[in-house]
Amino acid sequence: MRYLPLVGAALFRRPTRTILTLLSVLVAYLLFGLLYAVQLAFQSGADTADARRLLTTARYSIIDLLPISYLGPIERVPGVVSVAHAEWFGAKYQNESNAFPVFAVDPLRYLDMYPEFVVPPAARERFAATRTGALAGRRLADRYHWVVGQRLPISSEIHPKVDGSLAWEFDLVGTLDAEDPAVQGNTDLVLINVAYFDEARLLGRGRTGWYIERIAEPAQAKTVSAEIDRLFANSPDETRTQPEKEFAVGFAKQIGDMGALVTRILAAVFFTILLLTGNTMAQSVREGIPELAILKTLGFSDRTVAALVLAEALCLLLFGALLGLAGATALLPGVNRSTGGRFPPLFVSGATWLYGAVIAVALAFAVGLPPALRVARLRIVDALAGHR
Amino acid sequence: MAPLRTLRQVVAVTALNLRNVPHRPGASLVVVVGIAGVVGVLVAVLAMSTGFRHTLASTGRANRVIMLRSGSDSELSSGLARDQATLLVGLPAIARDGDGRPLASSELMVMVDLPRRGQTEPNNVPFRGVQPSAFAVRDEVTLVEGRRFERGVREVVVGRKAARQFAGLDVGSRIAFRDSDWSVVGIFSSGGDVHESEIWADAEVAMSAFRRTGFQSVTATLAGDPDGALPTLERLVAADRRLSISVLREPAYYAKQAKILSTLIDVLGYTVATFMAVGAMFGALNCMYSAIAARQVEIATLRALGFGGLPVVVSVMIEAFGLALLGGAAGGVLAYLYCDGASLSTLNFSTFSQVAFDFRVTPALLGQGLVWALGIGAIGGLPPAIRAARLPVTAALRTS
């Protein structure tokens, strides 16, 4: 601690240079915070997956439907605790296709399957009791200024009603939300009551999109999945059952390797930072050599002098990282408000801070170690004489 | 003669300055690499959205229409009964071939699960059941390998890009979808458009294999002048009470599908590049300030000899622009070498199906990259240049 003033003096020998370097580290970390949040959002499906949930879809394509009559047999499979199902409604709202997902579900079965969703008990009861009822994610309701109790006109691109019309109307009975921001993205949807939907639609009655099973033991996932699929093997509607996480990972892979893209961009960013601060450090040490030589003359050991140089680099990078990530944390709520449920919520997580710190320390050693070693080896006589 | 003298001074000071650059390789390199990073990332990410947009924009012809169930924005959510399709292809506004058959193809579209090459996870690959007339309607389709599928047989031809992205789509191989085996008998090209991401088979065979009873779309060539035929067709369709169909020009239909994803990529690219540019700008400022500091005595000497402030400013700016251009060019070249023509495929949310496309590094993108580089150079160079010009001569000369 008592060496702090010395580090400070070195950093502020040329304030402009230090501040500019600090600012570029800050910007790099701001970008890191934002991009890492985007990457987390892309893998949030896998991160928030419950190891006790399985997903059953049609075997040959996830857009094919399954008979609703599969519910009973799946429930009776040993190891299955409860079953829910859902179907894709194909919503078109205010003339925008797929403005948000709408699922036709059995209200209580579905809400029980996702205990991480926060639904007020009164809303839950109303949803179960109202045939034309709908629950909307809170972020969606905020974005469209919906109020509980209003009629919700949503068209379907896929499902005509019995009269041939594609225009549907539901009663908004409540909202659903989640406490964990990573789960919140999963609540950007509207749930409707399948009892009403199935009766009012013209085609596809008696079928549903997918089943969700809760199992007693995560370790049983493989055997229970295999057992469910065996039940319907060689039927016209074969199934594919997999743990929720596997499904989420597979679906994310459909989009492509988002992680690799972000990693490459960040590598370019940090490489530039490395060069920039490396150059600053080299300059700073070059100019500070007479002073460092004096310190050595005063009895500072080689190691202490080298540590001072390294501390200078650490200060620059850690402080820049701190400011950058704090900036990202401050910026993201605004970004989330403006995307309002179109995109999962972005946030700076604990993991982001940890990675940021690790990268900062690694960069500090990369840029600080060469000049530190040089200073440690410096001969006082040469340095004072101006031979570098 | 004052302007001429200033010009001569500018040339002299700039030459002196530029000869100095190699003596400060570290700082100059920071500017070049920093700007190269910005331009490289910007060009590479925008090349992705450009390629995606190009793939969808080059799909379809102005004289062709796609007909979907009214209210549907994509084939996947559309549905047409057989008799509706028969009515549609028989309408007089639709062109006919030499034998009097309509140039129209009623088609069904299903998704089949195929892993990418070297992976195991399934992807939604579009599988299109087409009528024999499809090849006459879309005359841009040519077989590049093998032959067309035969009618009534479980054979498929595969788009060139789908064959490259997904496993098991080589000519001669067999693929299994829903209790049926299909033989791949050919690979087709359609000028790099979205159909190259698809698998095509005979509509009747596909219909029985996938247990469908209807179609999802009709693609047809308009008769005669397309601008006259389209309103006629729309009127005929609207007049028939048995039809609730929307008629869309192909280019408009496909261009719309590109909108969401390409906008998303553009936003990502510009956001990242803006942040990086700000970072690089600080780097450039840093470098130029230290360049000025190193040349204090030299600049002050010039000023003492009677050189004006303007030549000093100009010389610093030229150095900044030179380094920026070098960085911009390096970034552009890297992006071009690294990703131009690289192909990838992603899930298009608008159609819920895989679209394969190539990165396209266009001259316009490279130009945009250079403009960004010069912008960063200008902002990074100007404050140091002004400081240099304002340097108090006596004080600067006294520093050693």
Q: Are A305 and A296 in contact (CB under 8 A)?
A: yes
Q: Which of B357, B193, B196 has the alpha carbon at shortest distance from B265?
A: B357
CA separation (Å) from B128 to A105, A108, B198, B253? 31, 39, 7, 17
- pLDDT higher than 90, residue B344: no
Pick from B30, B116, B289: which is nearest to A16 by CB?
Answer: B289
Distance CA B255, CA B348 (A): 12
Which positions in chain B touch A29 (Cβ < 8 Å)?
Answer: none
- Does B39 lie at the interface with A, CB-CB under 8 angstroms? no
Name the phi and psi angles at A91, rounded to 5: -75, 145
Per-window interface: B 254-283 vs A, CB < 8 A: 268, 271-272, 275-276, 278-280, 282-283
Structure tokens at B29: 């390199």
Structure tokens at B20: 């100095």
**Rg, C-alpha atoms of chain B:** 30
- pLDDT higher than 70, residue B179: no
| Per-residue pLDDT, A145 | 94
**Scanning every residue of chain A, which has its alpha carbon at the shortest distance from the alpha carbon of B344?**
A256
**Scanning every residue of chain B, which has its alpha carbon at the shortest distance from the alpha carbon of A96?**
B73
Band of residue B23 on the pLDDT scale cut at 50, 70, 90 = confident
To the question of pTM greater than 0.90 for the whole model, the response is no
- DSSP per-residue string spanning A16-49: HHHHHHHHHHHHHHHHHHHHHHHHHHHTHHHHT-
| Per-residue pLDDT, A341 | 65
Name the phi and psi angles at B128, rounded to 5: -110, 125
Q: Which residues contact A140 (CB under 8 A, 6 or more apart)?
A: A100, A146, A188, A189, A190, A340, A341
Which positions in chain B touch A34 (Cβ < 8 Å)?
Answer: 271, 275
- Does B85 lie at the interface with A, CB-CB under 8 angstroms? no
Crossing angle between the packed helical segments B25-57 and B363-390, to the nearest 10 degrees: 150
Task: Mutate one of A20, A36, A263 to test the B interface: name it (highest B CB count within 10 A).
Answer: A20
Element (H, E) at B82: helix B82-89
- Does A268 lie at the interface with B, CB-CB under 8 angstroms? yes
Number of inter-chain CB pairs under 8 A, A vs B: 133
- pLDDT higher than 90, residue B142: yes
What would the pLDDT profile of A47-103 be if each residue is shown by its tens digit? 889 999 999 999 888 888 999 999 999 999 999 999 999 999 989 999 888 889 999
| Per-residue pLDDT, A340 | 65
Which positions in chain B touch A60 (Cβ < 8 Å)?
Answer: 112-113, 177-178
Per-window interface: A 317-346 vs B, CB < 8 A: none
Band of residue B17 on the pLDDT scale cut at 50, 70, 90 = confident
CA dihedral B125, B130, B133, B134 (to 10 degrees): -20
Contact A269 B279 (CB under 8 A): yes
Distance CA A116, CA A125 (A): 17
Q: CA of B291 to nearest chain A CA: how many angstroms apart?
A: 11
Contact A24 B272 (CB under 8 A): no
**Scanning every residue of chain A, which has its alpha carbon at the shortest distance from the alpha carbon of B380?**
A20
| Per-residue pLDDT, A14 | 83
**Rg, C-alpha atoms of chain A:** 29
- B94 three-state secondary structure: strand
Q: CA of B335 to nearest chain A CA: how many angstroms apart?
A: 12
Structure tokens at A252: 């994310």
| % of chain B beyond a pLDDT of 70 | 99
| Per-residue pLDDT, B332 | 96
Contact A279 B110 (CB under 8 A): no
Q: Stretch B73-92: mean pLDDT, rounded?
A: 91
Contact B73 A92 (CB under 8 A): yes
Contact B26 A271 (CB under 8 A): no
Q: Which residue shows structure tokens 């609730």?
A: B244
Q: Which of B398, B373, B356, B351 has the alpha carbon at shortest distance from B33?
A: B373
Contact A17 B71 (CB under 8 A): no
- pLDDT higher than 90, residue B4: no
Which positions in chain B touch A158 (Cβ < 8 Å)?
Answer: 72, 77
Q: Stretch B234-250: mean pLDDT, rounded?
A: 92
Q: In terms of DSSP bridges, do strands A91-93 and A151-156 run parallel, antiparallel, or are they unpaired? A: antiparallel
Contact A61 B344 (CB under 8 A): no
Distance CA A357, CA A363 (A): 10
- pLDDT higher than 60, residue B213: yes
- A162 three-state secondary structure: coil
Q: CA of A143 to nearest chain B CA: how many angstroms apart?
A: 19
Burial tier of B125 (Cβ tally within 10 Å: 0-12, 13-18, 19+): buried
Region for residue B67 given its phi and psi (left: phi exceeds 0; alpha: psi -120 to 50; beta: otherwise): beta
Contact A283 B27 (CB under 8 A): yes
Say how far residue A49 (Cα) sits from the centre of its chain: 12
Query: Residue A331: how many CB atoms within 10 A of its CB?
Result: 16
Q: Are B6 and B310 in contact (CB under 8 A)?
A: yes
Task: Mutate one of B121, B166, B181 to test the A interface: name it (highest A CB count within 10 A).
Answer: B121
Residues of chain A where predicted confidence (pLDDT) is lower than 70? 1, 258, 340-341, 386-388
Distance CA A281, CA A279 (A): 5
